[in-house]
Amino acid sequence: MKHCLIIGSGIAGLNAASLLASKNISVTILESSPKLGGRTYSFLETQTNQIVDNGQHLLMGCYKDSLAFIKLTGAEDNFSYQKNLNVKFINRDRKIYSLNASSFPYPFNLLNAVLNYDVLNFSSKIKFIRFLVSFRFISESALSNLTVSDWLEKENQNDTQLKNLWEILCVGTLNTSISKASALVFYRILKLMFLKGNYAATLILPKYGLSESIVNPASEYIKKHGGKIFTSEPVKKIEISNNKIETVTSDKKVYKDFDFVISAVPHYALEKIIDVEILDIDVEFEYSTILNIHIWIDDLILDEMFYGLLNSPLHWIFNKGDHINVVISDADYLAEKSKDEILNLIIDELSIYTSIKKENITNYKIIKEKRATFVPDKNSLSKRPQPTTKIKNLILAGDWIDTGLPSTIESAAKSGRLAADIVLSEINKL
């Protein structure tokens, strides 16, 4: 039986391992952390004795590889699925606006959703619809050197559209501003969301913690199919001979009995165990922070599972039943702020948009992911590496390789599938 060693147990590593295990390939995962899931995990918050996520993950119907991964590992029932796109937004006057595509068949339901999104005036709605219609005729090469801001300016999108639509979409999907983000990456995401049928634009939320919803089922599936998973076992060194990995040394063991190695760790982690110049990788990523603030509130009353906030530094509020999770993307400016400073900002904004007051708060937990995602700017676009490498038996995976997508759970899942496909293809040649 062929054996694949996988370094890293994020979504990329878990998906690659699950797919290979399903094809009767022996897999071993080495994970440096005591937990699985990479940047996708949940943990027990000790003061409340409740499970919370390190960061809110929102999937979409267009996330083909993520949904295939969830289905393969038997985790489908751990998620709530929209039938049609439906998002509620709140402005600073507490007025609620809906982007609701529940009426009419696709694509008229999406057009109707925009026409009834009353935060935009009629002229802005028509401009947006014309813009979407023009997508089928846009050349990707024309966008490769543009930022999102450059592109939207060329398309005559006005300030109202920028603030109440494009900035929300860009920051939400790319975790960076329209002035930094690559127009090409944003265009690809928008095509997946709006031009691939009704289901593609729908939102999918985990019912439970991220570990319980997606990571643990994958771990159980891999082990059930003969795979081995070792946590708290960081890889220290990779040795190459004759253009092939011969040994992988962790802090506990030297591994030699493998046919392929999949590196499913971030770029900055890979640099610590192998000379990336050997792999001809020449990319330096700028990273972007996401802040998640879990807040426990007396008499929490919210009608929806989540809300977007218009014209606020707070981007999303997710209703967890017993508490809320506030998400601030593109949050580098808050990364070094104290807990009190961040909490005061949150309270000030929540008091404007909702009835939540400081005296209602019984507990809170601030989680700063300073390298939550890399910035998908135009400079890094052409430098992201392919999964295949100059080393015969080394394949790369992770949201940072060239998947054509930004740093999302879907990019990670896709990279894992690409890596598994390469291993299977090479095995079939033998």
Q: What dihedral do alpha carbons 376, 37, 88, 80 form, nearest 10°?
A: 130
The 10 Å Cβ neighbour count of residue 226 is: 12
Break the chain into its structural domains and give their ranges: 3-46+209-283+378-429, 83-201, 287-374
CA distance linking residue 14 with residue 29, whole number of Å: 8
- Please determine, for residue 284, whether its predicted confidence score (pLDDT) is greater than 90: no
Partners of 3 in the β-ladder: 26
Enter the tokens of residue 1.
């039986």
| Angstrom distances, CA of residue 378 to CA of 141, 189, 283, 286 | 12, 15, 12, 12
Whose structure tokens read 């590593």?
Answer: 13
CA distance linking residue 82 with residue 90, whole number of Å: 20
Q: Which CATH superfamily is domain 287-374 in?
A: Protoporphyrinogen oxidase, mitochondrial; domain 2 (3.90.660.20)
| Angstrom distances, CA of residue 113 to CA of 56, 80, 110, 162, 316 | 25, 21, 5, 18, 20
Which of the two residues, 301 and 151, has the higher pLDDT score? 151
Whose structure tokens read 């199919």?
Answer: 225
Counting residues of the chain whose pLDDT is more than 70, the rounded percentage is 100
Q: Could you read off the pLDDT of 297-338 as tens digits, one per residue?
A: 988 778 899 999 999 999 999 999 889 999 999 999 999 999
Enter the tokens of residue 227.
């795979």
Composition of the chain by helix, strand, coil, percent to 5: 35, 25, 40
CA distance linking residue 427 with residue 203, whole number of Å: 37
DSSP state of 388: B
- Please determine, for residue 128, whether its predicted confidence score (pLDDT) is greater than 90: no
CA distance linking residue 66 with residue 411, whole number of Å: 9
The band of 412, judged by pLDDT with boundaries at 50, 70 and 90, is very high
What is the amino acid identity at position 181? A
Whose structure tokens read 């962790």?
Answer: 250
CA distance linking residue 360 with residue 9, whole number of Å: 39
Question: What region does 404 belong to: left with phi over 0, alpha with psi -120 to 50, or beta?
Answer: left
pTM: 0.95
What is the amino acid identity at position 102? S
Specify the pLDDT at position 427.
92
Those residues with Cβ within 8 angstroms of residue 183's Cβ, 6 or more apart along the chain or in another chain: 143, 146, 147, 148, 150, 151, 378
Say which CATH topology domain 83-201 has: Guanine Nucleotide Dissociation Inhibitor; domain 1 (1.10.405)
- Name the 3-class secondary structure at 380: helix
Q: Could you read off the pLDDT of 216-271 as tens digits, one per residue?
A: 999 999 999 999 999 999 999 999 999 999 999 999 999 999 999 999 999 999 99
Counting residues of the chain whose pLDDT is more than 90, the rounded percentage is 84
Say whether the peptide bond before residue 107 is cis (omega within 30 degrees of 0): yes
Specify the pLDDT at position 247.
96
The 10 Å Cβ neighbour count of residue 270 is: 23
CA distance linking residue 207 with residue 35, whole number of Å: 20
- Please determine, for residue 50, whether its predicted confidence score (pLDDT) is greater than 90: yes
CATH of domain 3-46+209-283+378-429: 3.50.50.60
Q: Could you read off the pLDDT of 339-385 as tens digits, one per residue?
A: 999 999 999 999 999 998 899 899 999 999 999 999 999 888 889 99
At 99, give phi and psi (nearest 5°).
-110, 90
Partners of 241 in the β-ladder: 244
Partners of 180 in the β-ladder: none
Whose structure tokens read 């995962």?
Answer: 29
CB 297 within 8 A of CB 363: no
- Name the 3-class secondary structure at 199: helix
- Please determine, for residue 402, whether its predicted confidence score (pLDDT) is greater than 90: yes
